[in-house]
Amino acid sequence: MPDLKPFEERSAEHLRLVIESAHIGIWELDVASGHAWRNHAHDEIFGYSEAPEEWTYEMFLGHVVESDRQRVDELQQRAIRNNELWKFECEIQTAKDERRWISAAGRPLIGPDGSVDRLIGHVIDITDTKEREDRLSLLTNELNHRVRNMLGIIQSIVRLSAAKARDIPTFARSLEGRVDALARSHQLLISEAPGSMTIRAIVEQSLAAFPGLQERVKIEGCDEALLSGSTAQGLALVLHELITNAIKYGAFSNESGTVTTAITREDEVLRVVWREQGGPEVREAKQDGFGSRLISGALGRSGEVNLRFPADGAVCEIMLKLD
């Protein structure tokens, strides 16, 4: 039979393995003196590569950001007074001058005189979790805002498209395309991919809905500035209308027409110029239809659109304000 270690010894090894692999800081605080014993993981969480010669409760409070310091101290005093668990989350400033989030808990221990003389506990770094929570909250708020805006846009699209449509199939096709453009811009908004809200990404995503057109569009210039959700949605709608019009009447209505999309930046303004070439001669400049009105108003306060119809092809100049 193998010589098995006592259960208590094996349990201690298992606990030590869990603490080390999970990077859990453990500590024991003497209430009277304020001095504490702690492990290496504890000191690393507070930004120390080399362990300080001593660690005190005052040193700990000094790392807690000022806005949280009083709350954390009051919770500790209440835990000692009521012999209850000291549990909290707070932000700290580490020895490396970094802002981090911690979660900690301490259990009071009763001394020979019947009062709390020690606290033992643990601390873990929860910065990554907090950042994910903050991003999720920001994204949720942004999505709620975008959904409200999107519903308002859809209501306008339905009302104005219905007024201009000659029959139900025409109405259905125009409505479906415009709502699809909104859906594509929404997908860009929630994408995790870096740079998913740039002008180039939105142009490419808009063209992807029309197979075969990508190779007929040349994108010149590039700016990696990220657009806000509302600006991206407005730009997606404008591009959808431009592509649809080009398919019906302009550069994409024949086999030889092309489009150049030039992107430049002037201070805090992005300039996008959509220029059609090689299509049929433009004989009429109809700017009173819903498509033209949508192009002109889709960006709201986020930018301006100037749509022109010279004889050699439509030109649309889009000015986007960076937030």
How confident is the model at residue 2, as a pLDDT?
46
User: How far is CA 54 from its chain centroid?
Assistant: 41
Tell me the CATH number at 36. 3.30.450.20
Indicate whether 2 belongs to any domain.
Answer: no
State pTM to two decimals.
0.49
How confident is the model at residue 146, as a pLDDT?
58
Q: Low-confidence residues of the chain, pLDDT below 50?
A: 1-2, 4, 7, 10-11, 14-15, 192-195
Indicate whether 240 belongs to any domain.
Answer: yes
Residues 191 and 309 in one domain: yes
Indicate whether 28 belongs to any domain.
Answer: yes
Residues 291 and 233 in one domain: yes
Task: For residue 147, give the amino acid letter.
Answer: V
Residue 192 near residue 167 (C-beta atoms within 8 A): no
Residues 220 and 135 in one domain: yes
How confident is the model at residue 153, as a pLDDT?
57
Indicate whether 209 belongs to any domain.
Answer: yes
Residues 13 and 140 in one domain: no
Residues 135 and 227 in one domain: yes
Indicate whether 84 belongs to any domain.
Answer: yes
Long-range contacts of 214-221 (CB under 8 A, 24+ apart): 216/251, 216/252, 216/257, 216/258, 216/259, 217/258, 217/259, 217/260, 217/261, 218/258, 218/259, 218/260, 218/261, 219/261, 219/263, 220/260, 220/261, 220/262, 220/263, 221/262, 221/263, 221/264
Residues 169 and 226 in one domain: yes
Which residues, in sequence order, are bridge partners of residue 90?
A: 102
Residues 144 and 109 in one domain: no
How confident is the model at residue 169, as a pLDDT?
76
How confident is the model at residue 88, as a pLDDT?
96
How confident is the model at residue 214, as a pLDDT?
84
How confident is the model at residue 7, as a pLDDT?
46
Write down which residue in 91, 125, 159 finishes a domain: 125
How confident is the model at residue 106, as a pLDDT?
94
Q: What is the pLDDT of residues 181-235, one digit of tens each?
A: 666 666 655 554 444 578 888 888 888 777 778 889 999 987 677 887 778 777 8
SS3 for 296?
A: helix
Residues 67 and 168 in one domain: no
SS3 for 40?
A: helix
Write down which residue in 125, 151, 186 finishes a domain: 125
How confident is the model at residue 75, as a pLDDT?
96
How confident is the model at residue 10, as a pLDDT?
47
Tokens of 316: 């649309």
**Continuous segment of H or E residues that includes residue 204:** helix 199-208
Write down which residue in 125, 154, 184 finishes a domain: 125
Residues near 90 by Cβ (< 8 Å), separated by ≥ 6?
64, 65, 68, 71, 72, 101, 102, 104
Tell me the CATH number at 187. 3.30.565.10
The span from the CA of 265 to the CA of 263, in Å, is 7
**Domain of 11, in residue numbers:** 7-125
Residues 113 and 145 in one domain: no
Residues 174 and 190 in one domain: yes
* Residues belonging to the chain: 323
Tokens of 121: 């506990």
Residues 161 and 204 in one domain: yes
CA nearest 69: which of 94, 44, 90?
90
Taking only Cα atoms into account, the Rg of the chain, rounded to an integer number of angstroms, comes to 31
How confident is the model at residue 187, as a pLDDT?
65
Specify the number of domains making up the chain: 2
Indicate whether 150 belongs to any domain.
Answer: yes
Residues 179 and 210 in one domain: yes
